Structure 1
Amino acid sequence: MTEQAPITAITSALIVGGGIGGMAAAIDLAARGVAVTLIDLDPEWRVYGAGITITGPTLRAYQRLGMVEDIAREGAIVAGSSMFLFNGMHLRDLDEPPIEEGLPATGGIMRPVLHHLMQQRVAAAGVSVRLGVTVDSLANRNGGVDVTFSDGTSGRYDLVIGADSVRSRVRELAFPHMGEAERTGQGCWRVSMKKPPTLERGEMFFGHRYMVGITRCGEDRIYLWLLTPHEDTGERLEGEALATQMKTHLADFGGNAGWVRDTMTAEDWVNYRPLAAKIQPRPWSDGRIVLLGDAVHATTPHLASGAGIAVESALVLGEELARAATAEAALMAYEERRYERCRDVVETSVAIGAAQLAGRPGEEIGGIMGAALHRLAGPF
């Protein structure tokens, strides 16, 4: 991690939520000399999930944290992706040049592996971590925030950062003008398993009412995602029934998508969840309390950018705190820099999903995706 400009506007910060955005903020602020406490409601600080696609902009954000080599070692770095018709017929290869010199193009990693790598960085940064606890009350007072925790203890911090996911407790307590993320009408099926023998790059399958993609996440690991109209029954299925339903949805697919269908079992990690998204209305801060990540810009996976914009938001927050004379000025500048970019990601992702539900041509959907990814390659 490169040397960071020190922060003088605050000396202490509480980060609520130990996910990707919260850990990125903890690593960055600690490197800038802030005494950071990070709390997470899960007493074991676990993460569940399949793989995660690491786009060029996301790799750029992780480069600022000094973690690209970690991701390359524990995940998979590839030069681009391949496009197929749903029946497995190859359409074309897309080479994706790096968005910065010396930066890999794209890749993937298993989410639990990435979580563990970031936990190691949090520990190395000297961050104080408390588990099995959240916040019960927050009160701005005299240039700080008085906090009461769910275990009855209390504390005072110069800044409180709510990075506690789409169902944010901090948002609920401090931002009554905001609301819950809204379902988009699509659901996402995922399976994590061994890699098909012939797969080397990411793959996407078009021309079907369902959209499918495969991401390499390690030497011999992949995850496959499948987007369908939302199914209430999917949320209630488990084990063999869940895997069987996913296989049914993949019945028409060939190539490596067909190989996954024929090879996957209930012993692999199989999951279904409805998709929800929301760009929360401004302001994103109240006094010395601020939100980042899914708490304020929850998105769907269509641009593979949810994790990336969370890390970006953490980095921008640190930059503005180092630049500003007061925390309040920094939070305003952070919001100004982040709102439009995050709104673009959320609204474009939802628009892609709506186009898929409406059966729009693949070329049209690909054009929306390509234009958005080009915008994301710009500076943040």
Structure 2
Amino acid sequence: MAVVRKVLVIGGGFSGMAAAIQMRKAGIDVDLVEIDPNWRPEGAGITVNGPTLRALETIGVFGEFARRGFTSSGVDLFTPTGHKIGEIPTPKVAGSDVPGGGGIMRPELGRILADATRASDVAVRVGCTYTAIEERGDQVTVAFTDGPTGTYDLVVAADGVHSKTRERFFPEVKPPQYIGQGVWRAVLPRPSDIERPRMWLGGAVKVGVNPVSPTHLYMFVTEPRPGKLNVDAKTWPQLVASMIEPFSDPVLAALRPHLLAPEAAIDYRPLANLLVPAPWNRGRVILIGDTVAATTPHLASGAGIGIESGIVLAEELAKAATLQDAFDGFHARRWERCRMVIENSERLCRIEMENGDKAEHARIMRESVMALTQPI
């Protein structure tokens, strides 16, 4: 029997939903509150790696991902002129036969996990968050914005990179800091010959595409920018089109006009990361996902490490003799893996911004990919 009977999850993002679904499998009663009344993840496409697909398989939604997204193995590398210079293999992950990676629209992945959360009999309340959390002995009392008060054995905070729960329980931790690189994303029609991710490397700007469905792909463009973006959003399509103009590969040239269409839904994100020193709990309140371990996208692992943390927390709660044992087991399995992803992703970002050592970049990618294939 699990060491807790009733748990509150704050935040209906990927890590919170993963934790809720897996805790229900362990027989734990779960309430989940999500502040967004529409429970709608923002963003364009998202790239995931094989380990993330393995995590989705563990939860039970890999089949839906494969049906509604796109899976493949390997990444092709090109020069700006279209000369293929190599590929990044995506090795088989331990304990699973899932493909090496995939892509999907971020809102679509959110819907898949939300459907699975509700199907798991999690008690979901949207448009709701908490106003107070107070621990009393072996219970936590929580007051909510929609009126009632609840009592729980454990609170799991998964309220994102701008978490107010982190601000309260970890006041010494500074908010995430802009890293000096931004990423543009756009949704475009997929040419039939693009069947797996491609990246064009050359200088400080990197361009990539990844299929997200049988009909569409998403493009990502990373660029160094000394300060955060302060440009009228109406100019974004032309700005992104001009960024890829120096890339003369005919494949990119054919995609470029589609950037100017409203359907491209161009999105910009300034990149930042965050790694809170462990332990990630204060008493019976534990933080997971982007609240304590937020990464840049250079290893396609941001969503993955959060989903994995939800799975591992549920596993440790199900098998531990005491709550402290569960916390200890969770941190032992999650700290080093999350640290590696965040710090290696940041180093890859720095190398790209500085047009640095390509051999070091390749080595970090290779070592990180191999480490992530190992069991969680």
TM-score w.r.t. length of structure 1: 0.94
1:281 corresponds in structure 2 to: 277
Percent identity, please: 37
Q: 1:345 aligns with which of 341, 348, 351?
A: 341
Q: CA deviation at 1:196?
A: 2.6
Q: 1:184-237 CA distances to partner (integer Å, 9 max, x unpaired)?
A: 111111111221343111101112221121111110111111111126573543
1:76 equivalent to 2:73? Answer no
Q: CA RMSD in A?
A: 1.6
Q: 2:39 aligns with which of 30, 38, 45?
A: 45
1:298 equivalent to 2:289? Answer no
1:118 corresponds in structure 2 to: 113
- After superposition, the Cα gap between the structure-2 partners of 1:330 and 1:243, relative to the gap in structure 1 and judged at 3 Å, is same
Distance 2:336 2:185 in 1: 30
Q: Which runs of 5+ in 2 are unaligned?
A: none
1:25 equivalent to 2:19? Answer yes
1:229 corresponds in structure 2 to: 224
Please list, as runs of the form range in 1=range in 2, the aligned pairs for 1:72-151 lying within 5 A after superposition.
72-100=66-94, 101-151=96-146
- After superposition, the Cα gap between the structure-2 partners of 1:256 and 1:364, relative to the gap in structure 1 and judged at 3 Å, is farther
Partners of 2:91 and 2:373 within 8 A in 1: no
3-state SS of paired residue (1:192)? strand
Q: 2:319 aligns with which of 318, 323, 327?
A: 323
TM-score w.r.t. length of structure 2: 0.95
Partners of 1:71 and 1:114 within 8 A in 2: yes
Q: CA deviation at 1:243?
A: 0.8
1:15 equivalent to 2:35? Answer no
1:368 equivalent to 2:367? Answer no
Distance 2:251 2:232 in 1: 25
- After superposition, the Cα gap between the structure-2 partners of 1:372 and 1:195, relative to the gap in structure 1 and judged at 3 Å, is same
- After superposition, the Cα gap between the structure-2 partners of 1:364 and 1:260, relative to the gap in structure 1 and judged at 3 Å, is farther
Partners of 2:188 and 2:258 within 8 A in 1: no
Q: CA deviation at 1:279?
A: 0.6
Q: Which runs of 5+ in 1 are unaligned?
A: 1-6
Partners of 1:53 and 1:304 within 8 A in 2: yes
2:207 corresponds in structure 1 to: 212
1:179 corresponds in structure 2 to: 174
Distance 2:40 2:175 in 1: 23
- The letter for the 2-side match of 1:356 is E
Q: 1:158 aligns with which of 136, 145, 153?
A: 153
- The letter for the 2-side match of 1:15 is V
Q: 1:190 aligns with which of 182, 185, 193?
A: 185
Distance 1:279 1:147 in 2: 26
- The letter for the 2-side match of 1:276 is A
Q: What is the count of residue pairs matched by the alignment?
A: 373
Distance 1:125 1:42 in 2: 20
Q: 2:165 aligns with which of 166, 170, 173?
A: 170
Distance 1:170 1:107 in 2: 32
